Amino acid sequence: MKLYGIPNCNTVKKARDWLDTNNIPYSFHDFKKQGIDEATISNWLTQYPWEKLINRAGLTWRGLDDATKSGIIDNTTATTLMQAKTSVIKRPILVKEGKILALGFDENAYKETFKL
């Protein structure tokens, strides 16, 4: 199982703490250090629309100019943006065997996912 995110993100910290507290093994993929490949994003886009994968409430999105924002219209343009500015991706993303188990962190959803 892999948790994708940014180490200094509070929501990612909550997810990591929850997984650690509940002794659930995972590896951490740091968007800032490791980036994200197109194949992974393409896989995610088969499970969630780009509108859910891009965090439009976050500082990164809000910091983009209007022309860039209005240019994100489909999976291709969203993929390009997510690869160029990984902090625009909603996080954390918890993945097991290519399947997204959770997008973002909600303690109750994690409990449900892991039957705790």
Domain ranges of the chain: 2-113
Superfamily classification of domain 2-113: Glutaredoxin (3.40.30.10)
- Average pLDDT score over residue span 35-51: 97
Supply the pTM of this predicted model.
0.94
Can you tell me whether residue 4 is helix, strand or coil? Answer: strand
| 116 has a pLDDT exceeding 90 | no
- SS3 category, 103: strand
Catalytic site residue from 3, 4, 5, 9: 9
What average pLDDT score do residues 16-44 get? 97
pLDDT at residue number 40: 98
DSSP string of 75-96, one letter each residue: HHHHHHHHHH-GGGB-S-EEEE
The amino acid present at 36, given as its one-letter code, is I
CA–CA distance from 78 to each of 38, 47, 62 (Å)? 11, 14, 15
pLDDT-derived band at 47 (thresholds 50, 70, 90) equals very high
pLDDT digits (tens, 9 = 90+) for 81-110: 999 999 999 999 999 999 999 999 999 999
For residue 9, indicate whether it is catalytic: yes
Taking the C-alpha atoms of residue 116 and residue 110, their distance in angstroms, rounded to an integer, is 8
